[in-house]
Amino acid sequence: MLDVRPIRVESLGEKLATELRRRIIVGDVASGTRLVEEELADSFQVSRGPVRDAIRILRSEGLVTGSGRSAVTRSLSEADIDELMALREAFELLAVERAIAVRREVLARDLRVALVDMDAALAARDSSAFTTADIRFHSAFFAAAGLTRLSVLWDQFRPTIEGLLHASGKRLADLAPSAREHHDLAALITAGKVAEVRAELHRHLQTTCSRLRSAIPSTPVQRENQP
């Protein structure tokens, strides 16, 4: 039998959350903007149900605060990015070490698949496709680790991290060096060199954190408590 995984269909609420997340991260929606269900439903030409779902998703990610009619947006600060990336590193280190210990061959296979997509994006000079492959590469750690609760945590933070990566955008000149880093990391993982993997992953994520911090727009004063 073919080794395939079920195709997950994104709900309308998730699609709305993706669009709103992007607008919040890049600063198109100012921090403290009140989210009114009726207005959003009219703007996106959908019912209020998917809008409520989108707001719930973004609230769980820390991009919306309050509840009901008092829901307002919250932009990401440099401190938020530092926190997200620190959590990401802790999660990824735990996942990759577990995956190396219990399913290294499966992980190596999944990393090769992601690297094929990454190399194709590099050849096409497509930074958006490159970022998608980048996230697929790192998500493979969690799939191979087989730790349910850790995967749930990653799924909660991954959309914001992916949104940040897409919003910051890799310069075309950065794609080749980043591809080499991922190939090197995959080689270390395949060889089971845990100490070297830890060091390389830390360096790689620190570089990513610095790029994200420099790319986010300045955050205005929060207006979360205003009507």
A 10 A CB-CB count for 132 gives: 18
Kind and range of the H or E run holding 81: helix 78-124
According to the model, what pLDDT value does residue 61 have? 87
According to the model, what pLDDT value does residue 226 have? 39
Length of the chain: 227
According to the model, what pLDDT value does residue 8 have? 54
According to the model, what pLDDT value does residue 219 have? 52
According to the model, what pLDDT value does residue 107 have? 97
pLDDT tens sequence for the chain (227 residues): 444 455 455 688 889 988 998 888 888 888 889 998 889 999 999 998 999 999 999 998 889 998 767 789 998 888 999 999 999 999 999 999 999 999 999 999 999 999 999 999 999 999 999 999 999 999 999 999 999 999 999 998 899 999 888 887 767 778 899 999 999 999 999 999 999 999 999 999 999 998 888 877 665 444 444 33
According to the model, what pLDDT value does residue 151 have? 95
Does the pTM surpass 0.75? The reply is yes
A 10 A CB-CB count for 193 gives: 14
According to the model, what pLDDT value does residue 166 have? 85
Handedness of CA 129, 161, 143, 4 (dihedral sign): negative
According to the model, what pLDDT value does residue 11 have? 85
Handedness of CA 186, 190, 191, 193 (dihedral sign): positive
- Check: CB of residue 223 under 8 Å from CB of residue 31: yes
Handedness of CA 149, 153, 158, 159 (dihedral sign): positive
